[in-house]
């Protein structure tokens, strides 16, 4: 079992302290990339779409890019875990 920190605002000091505490308590069971809190993620949820299906006009380019980078990092970490469990590297 791994833990994924979601709706994370890295600029919020109390949230960052909680994430640091989780990493201290649970070590590598907490995935390193976090899923940031973003209007892009909210917009995708409201539209019942994934972040990959949003059109650029629905949200700002920079917002979409930041959210997409965060989701890509989380997905990459999950794929690595799956490959490791299957004995692939």
In a domain, 74, yes or no: yes
- In angstroms, the CA 27 to CA 20 distance is 10
Span between the terminal Cα atoms of the chain, in Å: 19
Query: What does the pLDDT look like over 6-37, one tens digit per residue?
Result: 999 999 999 999 999 999 999 999 999 999 99
What's the number of domains the chain is made of? 1
Q: Is the pLDDT of residue 61 over 80?
A: yes
| Whole-structure pTM value | 0.86
The pLDDT value recorded for residue 4 is 98
The pLDDT value recorded for residue 57 is 82
In a domain, 6, yes or no: no
In a domain, 7, yes or no: no
- In angstroms, the CA 47 to CA 21 distance is 34
- In angstroms, the CA 4 to CA 19 distance is 10
Domain that holds residue 18: 13-85
In a domain, 64, yes or no: yes
């Amino acid at each position: 079992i791994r833990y994924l920190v979601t709706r994370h605002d890295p600029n919020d000091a109390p949230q960052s302290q909680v994430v640091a505490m989780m990493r201290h308590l649970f070590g590598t069971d907490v995935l390193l990339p976090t899923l940031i809190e973003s209007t892009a993620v909210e917009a995708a949820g409201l539209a019942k779409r994934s972040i990959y299906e949003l059109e650029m006009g629905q949200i700002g380019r920079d917002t979409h890019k930041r959210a997409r980078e965060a989701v890509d990092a989380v997905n990459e970490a999950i794929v690595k875990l799956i490959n490791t469990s299957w004995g692939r590297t």
